Structure 1
Amino acid sequence: MPSRRRALLKVIILGDSGVGKTSLMNQYVNKKFSNQYKATIGADFLTKEVQYEDRLFTLQIWDTAGQERFQSLGVAFYRGADCCVLVYDVNVMKSFENLNNWREEFLIQASPSDPENFPFIVLGNKVDVDNGNSRVVSEKKARAWCASKGNIPYFETSAKEGSNVEEAFQCIAKNALKSGEDEEIYLPDTIDVASVNYVSRNKPVSLCLLGSDCLMALCELLFTFKEGFSGTKSNPVLRLSI
């Protein structure tokens, strides 16, 4: 059977622990939300096939850990990103104040070719909490910050209720495409590699701290190629067992 080719776009989601990065990703890809909080260890990613205008591409969304102890892995995780999503909790001022740190951290670690024009998107999440009564960051304040950083697109979202999530990721995909860093990937109709394990493309791939040398070696392999394999009718995502 003929092989297919499509663009692969890598999106990184950054923000403090607990702001809802994982929930936003799961809501967009799987239309699911869980009230049980579980901190991301290292990084997970999900993929979703998206069509924009006349183009078909795979959006690879990386959900990174918000804890400081994982930030040293940023070089490997951020490399090759086409768009960066900055998330904060509208009910937690500190998470908003840290947006600048996350933005600067990404630019340093990812070293994009054109940092001034690299596409960022800001999401003010958890607008549903307490019907907005516990909110401490106003939309006006958030938009002013985005304007000061080059008119970054801004969306207010609720991962729990799904509000504005689809619209936000449509903007993310559009801006990632415009960055001009998307690449064509080879997608064989079947993959016959005995040593490879497969899981559903809608289940995240997790990377844990098993020792810096081992993990960094894996990251170099995984992130250099952006890990875009799909195969068979269910389009599974490749999982590396470590």
Structure 2
Amino acid sequence: MNATEKFYLPVDGILKMFNSLPAHQQSHITHTAHQSAALSPVLQHPKVSDITKTGMGIIKTVKGCWRQQDARVGASRSSSSGNRQVSIERVPKRSVDRLELGLTKPRNCHRIVVLGAPKVGKTNILQRFLGNEFEEHYEHTIEDFHRKLFHIRGETYQVDLLDAAGERDFPAKRRLSILTGDIFLLVFSLDDRESLNEACELLNEIQAAKAKLLKSKRPARVPAVMCGNKADLDAQRVVRRAEVGTILGEDVPYFETSAKNGTGLESVFRALASLGGLPDETSPSRHQLISIPTYQSLCVGRRGRRGIRTPGLGAPCAAVDPLARRPSFTSDLRLVLGSSTKNNKPEKCQIQ
């Protein structure tokens, strides 16, 4: 990875939050960022552009806004309760994998892999899970990775969401995603029979891949949910519920949904939680969405160190990590191969 790529690593997630701010705040932040880039000394590098400098200025300014906002919230809470103001942790400069840091139990960390044909609504279903609204404009997804962190009844949970749409034409890469997945969401469109056929083929591929990894001669039972999306387009429907039930049998839960109006999505999210051993509170309607700095300070307070105490500490809450990036393929391969490398004899890779 060259220096320019390293410069860009944290930018994408921050810009998403930047774009969600009101227009007048965006204007103020951009103006401040330009001033910061102009006044601060810059390391000479032929591949680092002024746009990158401005982007880094935006990152610093947005982080400053986060800290000021949480500081004001902390001050108001302290004055109302009579307690002195306490400090908060700095916003992390990169995504934090709580499993790697030992802050979340391995059994509380899960990866949900979303698979299906193009244009069936996978991205909008994921956005609903993240607490965002439906997006009418369609953009082809190459690969999308999200991380949502939960604090529920004193326990922390990490749920990684991988939209593997771009792996449709790369079998080896798709196989790796399947082998590292814990829970699977298969999506097809009720107005497209071919998308149903593709979802069923993907289900067979998942079962075969997991069986091979487990060295089983029979297809493995996997925690998978089938989702027939676009139920709001009833006039264009070509796939009926009874037909899908006949194909799937009773082994795979099936739901008809609409990412546009939210129909059936709550049932899908509850089924994913149940199959993965996650609390029901991981469903978007069952928890409060908070910012990453607030989530970090809440977890700091939980460990007994000084941090901001939010009202209703026991209430379920969650935060979306804006800097989350998919783990490297090397890390995923190690996860597949496992830790059984005794006598320096690695296991045979099951990707091919």
| TM-score bucket of the superposed structures, by smaller chain | 0.5 to 0.7
Q: Structure 1: how far apart are the matches of 2:203 and 2:262?
A: 25
Correspondence for 2:226: 122
Correspondence for 1:233: none
Residue 29 of structure 1: CA displacement?
1.0
Identity across aligned pairs (percent)? 22
Residue 162 of structure 1: CA displacement?
1.5
- Mapped contact 2:207–2:221 kept (Cα < 8 A): no
- Mapped contact 1:79–1:223 kept (Cα < 8 A): no
Higher strand share: 1
Q: Structure 1: how far apart are the matches of 2:165 and 2:103?
A: 33
Please give the residue correspondences for 1:52-67 in structure 2 after superposition, counting only pairs within 5 Å: 56-65=156-165
Structure 2, unmatched stretches of 5+, are 1-88, 90-100, 279-295, 301-319, 337-352
TM-score when normalising by structure 1: 0.68
User: Over the residues paired in the alignment, what is the CA RMSD in angstroms?
Assistant: 3.2
- Mapped contact 2:167–2:174 kept (Cα < 8 A): no
Residue 45 of structure 1: CA displacement?
1.6
Residue 54 of structure 1: CA displacement?
8.2
Residue 57 of structure 1: CA displacement?
2.1
The secondary structure found in structure 1 opposite 2:137 is coil
Residue 222 of structure 1: CA displacement?
5.0
- Mapped contact 1:30–1:202 kept (Cα < 8 A): no
Q: Structure 2: how far apart are the matches of 1:73 and 1:4?
A: 29
The secondary structure found in structure 2 opposite 1:221 is helix
TM-score when normalising by structure 2: 0.48
Q: 1:9 to 1:71 in 2, by over 3 A?
A: same
Q: 1:54 to 1:206 in 2, by over 3 A?
A: closer
Q: Structure 1: how far apart are the matches of 2:325 and 2:335?
A: 15
For 2:223, the aligned partner's letter is P
The secondary structure found in structure 2 opposite 1:144 is helix
- Mapped contact 1:26–1:32 kept (Cα < 8 A): yes
The secondary structure found in structure 1 opposite 2:130 is helix
Q: 1:68 to 1:142 in 2, by over 3 A?
A: same
Correspondence for 2:85: none
Structure 1, unmatched stretches of 5+, are 179-186, 190-199, 208-217, 227-242
Please give the residue correspondences for 1:118-157 in structure 2 after superposition, counting only pairs within 5 Å: 118-129=222-233, 132-147=234-249, 150-157=250-257
What is the number of residues matched between the two proteins?
A: 193
Q: Structure 1: how far apart are the matches of 2:152 and 2:137?
A: 33
For 1:75, the aligned partner's letter is R
Q: 1:117 to 1:69 in 2, by over 3 A?
A: closer
Correspondence for 1:15: 116
Residue 116 of structure 1: CA displacement?
2.5
For 2:127, the aligned partner's letter is N
- Mapped contact 1:52–1:174 kept (Cα < 8 A): no
Higher helix share: 2
- Mapped contact 1:29–1:48 kept (Cα < 8 A): yes
Correspondence for 2:136: 35
| 1:105 matches 2:205 | yes
Correspondence for 1:83: 183
Pick one of 201, 226, 229 that aligns with 2:321. Answer: 201
Residue 52 of structure 1: CA displacement?
7.7
**Superposed CA offset, 1:1-41 (max 9, x none):** 99732411111111111111111101111232111111111
Q: Structure 2: how far apart are the matches of 1:3 and 1:107?
A: 31
Q: 1:74 to 1:165 in 2, by over 3 A?
A: same
**Superposed CA offset, 1:113-134 (max 9, x none):** 37422111100001112xx111
Q: Which has the larger radius of gyration?
A: 2
Q: 1:89 to 1:46 in 2, by over 3 A?
A: same
Residue 109 of structure 1: CA displacement?
4.3
Residue 224 of structure 1: CA displacement?
4.5
Residue 174 of structure 1: CA displacement?
1.2
| Structure with larger RCO (C-alpha < 8 A, sep 6+) | 1
- Mapped contact 1:77–1:223 kept (Cα < 8 A): no
